[in-house]
């Protein structure tokens, strides 16, 4: 058997290969992950998956040109080949004077993102969580008849970054999550619901609440009717609001701003949202699902208010775009995997809690629509900001549900959406992808229907 190099040995070999090749500014990034998944069906464990992953990404900055290569072959020859490929790639790209490799030593803060022992749990313990979610969904309502899927997943991940210019740091993190998609049946009609949550430690995951919420998502849609084309006030619960907030995030990317692809270009200091809206990106949130001490290019992460009471305060940056804007990086070079170079993106990105009671904010409205699911979120074009989505919802009169609706669309522009937020709930909730929002009331959206 070939000798398996430790993570630190892999880093050392890569750095030394870079030095021997004469690469003076380069970065090595390693990620190792161990994860376990259990899926259940009708009270039994159906699928068990154990996954191991380890790989290396190497970025070489040759003068002003950046190359990138990755490899899962971490034997000595594989590491050397990866370094060589990265150097080759750097000769293909074109110069950009603002590119940098990190050179400031990192102080790794404890953000409560690692909790030992998660990964060593027995299969039966993992299965028990998924089974508890399924049971809670089934027990929540007699109309829950079957499931598309119920699963529990946990992972332990190690990230190491090192540069030829003196940076070397690492952190470990754990995540766990559970989700279910129950189906409700009534009078021949079937509707599916979905809910999933994530946490850094098991104690923060509530299987009963996940199951019950998913069941409610399904049963709330039963009895759905077509709906007339009209304009109405729209209520977004925290999870629906998170989905749309995720689509808004690219508008804050300095890369998009500099390249003319963001509606927020030249808007710093201007009003871009209703004064009730404050948007924060906080990579330092204790236990946050997107918290990390440093970003994908070795810059310390930060906490930033991007929209303060409706006014745009700044953008999400990495080293390159920060240089171009004569500022310092906000630490938002996010890296999905060792195999992808970093891209500017949010961390724990959320709308701050407001002052309105989520239950009573709609009571004063004669008619409104509460959105219960959205289809086609992935097709929103952040460049134009235009969105037109398939939806289901509940039609409300004076805040009371009248009947569910399906087969409708909701449409608007992301910038108008932010300006039209007229109530912000007190109930801020973070979702499994680090996005957070309270309940939002939108003054008016176009609804397409019959």
Partner 1 sequence: MSARDAERALRTALSRGGDFAELFWERHETLQLVLDDGRIEDAITGVDQGAGIRVTNGERTTYANGNVTDVDDIMSLAGRAAGSVSDGGELHEAARLAPDELERTHPVAIDPRSVPVERKVALLKKANEVARAFDPRVIQATVSYAESCQDVLVSNSDGTHRTDLRVRVNFAVNVVAKRGEVLESGFEAVRGTRGFEMLGEDVIVEAATTAAHRAVQNVGAEPAPAGTYTVVLSSEAGGTLIHESVGHGLEADLNLKGLSVYSGRIGEKVASELITVVDDGRDPGQRGTAAMDDEGTPTQRTVLIEKGVLRTYLSDRRHSEKLGIKRSGNARRESFRYLPICRMTNTMIERGESDPDQILSSVKDGVFVKKMGGGQVDVVSGNFAFEITECFRIRDGKLAEPLRGATLVGQGPKLMSEIDMVGWDLGYSTGTCGKDGQGAPVADAQPTLRIPKVVVGGKLK
List binders of partner 1 among 320-349 (CB under 8 A): 339-341
| Bridge-based pairing state of the strands 435-437 and 349-351 | parallel
HSE, side-chain direction, 13 A CA sphere, residue 294: 25
Minimum distance from CB of 347 to partner 1 (Å)? 21
Phi, psi of 333 (to 5 degrees): -80, 95
How many residues sit close enough to partner 1 to count as binding (CB under 8 A)? 86
| Bridge partners for 197 per DSSP | 178
Which of 19, 231, 286, 367 touches partner 1 (CB under 8 A)?
231
Is residue 225 near partner 1 by the rule CB under 8 A? Answer: no
**Stretch near partner 1 under the rule CB under 8 A, chosen from 21-29, 135-143, 197-205, 253-261:** 253-261
Give 166 or 269: the residue with its C-beta nearer to partner 1.
269
Is residue 48 near partner 1 by the rule CB under 8 A? Answer: yes
Minimum distance from CB of 301 to partner 1 (Å)? 23
Give 94 or 110: the residue with its C-beta nearer to partner 1.
94
- Report which of 127, 121, 133, 130 is spatially closest to residue 174, judged by C-alpha positions: 121
User: Which three-class secondary structure string do you get for 239-296?
Assistant: HHHHHHHHHHHHHHEHHHHHCCCCCCCCCCCCECCCCCCCEEEECCCCCCCCCCCECC
Burial label, 12 (beta-carbon count in 10 A; 0-12, 13-18, 19+):
middle
Minimum distance from CB of 263 to partner 1 (Å)? 6
Instruction: Say if CB 395 and CB 367 are below 8 A apart.
Output: yes
Enter the tokens of residue 63.
Answer: 């003068």
Minimum distance from CB of 226 to partner 1 (Å)? 9
Give 81 or 112: the residue with its C-beta nearer to partner 1.
81
**Mask of contacts with partner 1, 275-304, x by CB under 8 A?**
------------------------------
- Report which of 443, 427, 276 is spatially closest to residue 358, judged by C-alpha positions: 427
Give 75 or 353: the residue with its C-beta nearer to partner 1.
75
Minimum distance from CB of 371 to partner 1 (Å)? 13
- Report which of 321, 343, 448, 326 is spatially closest to residue 393, judged by C-alpha positions: 448
Give 135 or 149: the residue with its C-beta nearer to partner 1.
149
Instruction: Say if CB 418 and CB 249 are below 8 A apart.
Output: no
Is residue 450 near partner 1 by the rule CB under 8 A? Answer: yes
Give 92 or 400: the residue with its C-beta nearer to partner 1.
92
Secondary structure of residue 209 in the 3-state scheme: helix
Which of 7, 409, 419, 433 touches partner 1 (CB under 8 A)?
409
Is residue 411 near partner 1 by the rule CB under 8 A? Answer: yes
Is residue 47 near partner 1 by the rule CB under 8 A? Answer: yes
Which of 360, 376, 397, 403 touches partner 1 (CB under 8 A)?
376
Give 151 or 278: the residue with its C-beta nearer to partner 1.
151
Question: Rounded distance, CA 213 to CA 207, Å?
Answer: 10
- Report which of 298, 323, 319, 291 is spatially closest to residue 57, judged by C-alpha positions: 298
Minimum distance from CB of 71 to partner 1 (Å)? 5
Which of 71, 159, 174, 299 touches partner 1 (CB under 8 A)?
71
Question: Rounded distance, CA 140 to CA 132, Å?
Answer: 12
Which of 230, 323, 433, 443 touches partner 1 (CB under 8 A)?
230
Is residue 16 near partner 1 by the rule CB under 8 A? Answer: no
Phi, psi of 30 (to 5 degrees): -125, 140
**Stretch near partner 1 under the rule CB under 8 A, chosen from 11-19, 189-197, 346-354, 419-427:** 189-197
Question: Rounded distance, CA 388 to CA 15, Å?
Answer: 49
Residues 132-161 that bind partner 1 (CB under 8 A): 146-149
């Amino acid at each position: 058997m070939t000798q398996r190099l430790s993570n630190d040995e892999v880093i050392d070999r890569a750095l030394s290969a870079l030095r021997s090749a004469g690469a003076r500014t380069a970065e090595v990034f390693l990620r190792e992950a161990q994860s376990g998944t259990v899926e259940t069906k009708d009270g039994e464990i159906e699928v068990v998956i154990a996954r191991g992953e380890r790989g290396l990404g190497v970025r070489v900055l040759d003068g002003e040109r950046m190359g990138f290569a990755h490899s899962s072959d971490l034997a000595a020859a594989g590491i050397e080949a990866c370094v060589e490929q990265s150097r080759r790639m750097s000769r293909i790209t074109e110069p950009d004077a603002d590119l940098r490799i990190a050179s400031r030593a990192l102080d790794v803060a404890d953000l409560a993102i690692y909790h030992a022992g998660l990964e060593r749990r027995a299969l039966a313990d993992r299965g028990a969580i998924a089974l508890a979610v399924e049971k809670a969904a089934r027990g929540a309502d007699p109309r829950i008849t079957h499931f598309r899927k119920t699963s529990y997943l946990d992972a332990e991940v190690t990230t190491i970054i090192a540069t030829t210019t003196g940076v070397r740091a690492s952190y470990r993190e754990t995540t766990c999550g559970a989700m279910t998609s129950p189906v409700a049946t009534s009078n021949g009609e079937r509707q599916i619901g979905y809910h999933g949550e994530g946490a850094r430690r098991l104690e923060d995951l509530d299987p009963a609440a996940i199951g019950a919420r998913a069941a409610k998502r399904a049963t709330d849609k039963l009895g759905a009717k077509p709906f007339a084309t009209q304009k109405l006030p729209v209520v977004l619960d925290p999870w629906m609001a998170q989905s749309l907030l995720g689509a808004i995030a690219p508008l804050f990317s300095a890369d998009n701003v500099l390249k003319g692809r963001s509606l927020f270009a030249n808007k710093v200091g201007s009003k871009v949202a209703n004064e009730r809206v404050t948007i924060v990106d906080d990579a330092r949130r204790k236990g946050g699902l997107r918290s990390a001490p440093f970003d994908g290019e070795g810059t310390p992460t930060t906490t930033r208010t991007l929209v303060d009471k409706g006014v745009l305060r700044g953008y999400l940056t990495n080293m390159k775009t920060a240089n171009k804007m004569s500022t310092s990086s906000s630490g938002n070079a996010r890296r999905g995997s060792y195999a992808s170079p970093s891209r500017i993106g949010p961390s724990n990105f959320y709308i701050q809690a407001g002052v309105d009671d989520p239950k009573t904010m709609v009571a004063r409205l004669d008619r409104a629509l509460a959105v219960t699911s959205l289809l086609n979120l992935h097709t929103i074009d952040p460049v134009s900001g235009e969105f037109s989505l398939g939806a289901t919802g509940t039609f409300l009169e004076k805040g009371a549900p009248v009947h569910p609706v399906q087969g409708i669309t909701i449409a608007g522009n992301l910038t108008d959406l932010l300006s039209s937020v007229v109530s912000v709930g007190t109930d801020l909730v973070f979702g499994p992808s680090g996005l957070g929002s309270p309940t939002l009331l939108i003054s008016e959206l176009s609804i397409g229907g019959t």
